[in-house]
């Protein structure tokens, strides 16, 4: 059995992204065969690995099949496995898996809806979220207030936020009048509430926000909020190629108990 770095092994098994596992190692939350593990240590799927005193089941990693889905997140749901305030989470409606678990690719805040990618491939999640990959995110935004050309120029050029300079790579007027005026904006970062904060820097308020694209993956108009679908073969290939990862075999037909949604041509 070949040894590999713990963060790669756990990411491949779907327990988290490499960055998350590295953080757990730094915090002393992982033990291997009864010994606290540290960053740089290696292990195999045959080792006894515990995370926060929970034994991780890694033997199935040898037969791991990567899966990635699109979920149409509605407003009012949070992107966390459990919420101390008892709010609905995106995981409540996802298909269950026996040998791995879903990793959300980035976050959408509770009031933001739209496309959320989830995968059980920790390496893919890590690459997609890493700033160096510069994956485009496109949002549909409904803005309250009169938007001037000066506002748009500033948002394209860049404005100073509390965590540094930010800007939109592209802004397109999507039509509408008065309080129902829409824009489509594109950026390649995933900073917290970045879209909202950029518009607020111009004295404007976002009244509705929906992510409609993440890299090569578009949100289908027919996919209703609260529903999910698997990636189509060409999307599965495109998402791996977008971060220079080898394209694995497509997963076999799902046997999840929850309702499936057919691909629409």
Residue 203 CA from chain centroid, whole number: 29
- Whether 220 is catalytic is no
Residue 259 CA from chain centroid, whole number: 22
Residue 191 CA from chain centroid, whole number: 12
Contact call for residues 263 and 253 (beta carbons, < 8 A): no
Identify the three-state secondary structure at position 238.
helix
| Catalytic-labelled residue, pool 109, 170, 173, 256 | 109
CA-to-CA distance for 48 and 251, rounded, in angstroms? 27
Instruction: List the one residue out of 219, 221, 230 whose CA is nearest residue 261.
Output: 230
Q: What is the number of other CB atoms lying within 10 angstroms of the CB of residue 18? A: 20
Q: What is the largest CA-CA distance in the chain?
A: 64
Phi, psi of 10, deg, nearest 5: -70, -35
Contact call for residues 99 and 152 (beta carbons, < 8 A): no
Which amino acids are annotated catalytic? Answer: 109
């Amino acid at each position: 059995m070949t040894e590999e770095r713990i963060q790669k092994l756990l990411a491949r098994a779907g327990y988290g992204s490499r960055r998350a596992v590295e953080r757990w190692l730094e915090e002393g939350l992982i033990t291997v065969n009864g010994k606290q593990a540290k960053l740089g240590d290696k292990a195999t799927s045959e080792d006894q690995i515990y995370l926060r005193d929970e034994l991780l089941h890694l033997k199935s990693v040898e037969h791991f099949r990567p899966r990635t889905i699109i979920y149409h997140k509605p407003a009012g749901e949070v992107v966390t496995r459990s919420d101390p305030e008892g709010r609905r989470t995106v995981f409540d409606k996802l298909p269950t898996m026996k040998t791995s678990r879903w990793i959300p690719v980035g976050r959408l805040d509770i009031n933001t809806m739209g496309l959320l990618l989830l995968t059980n491939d920790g390496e893919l999640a890590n690459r997609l979220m890493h700033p160096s990959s510069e994956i485009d995110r496109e949002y549909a935004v409904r803005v309250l207030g009169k938007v001037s050309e000066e506002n748009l120029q500033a948002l394209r050029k860049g404005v100073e936020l509390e965590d540094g300079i930010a800007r939109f790579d592209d802004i397109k007027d999507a039509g509408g009048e008065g309080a129902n005026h829409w824009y489509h904006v594109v950026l390649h970062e995933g900073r917290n509430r970045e879209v909202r904060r950029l518009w607020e820097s111009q004295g404007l308020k976002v009244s509705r926000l929906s992510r409609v694209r993440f890299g090569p993956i578009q949100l289908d108009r027919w996919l209703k909020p609260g529903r999910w679908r698997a990636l189509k073969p060409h999307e599965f290939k495109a998402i791996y190629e977008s971060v220079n990862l080898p394209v694995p075999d497509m997963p076999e037909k799902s046997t999840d108990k929850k309702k499936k949604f057919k691909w629409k041509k």
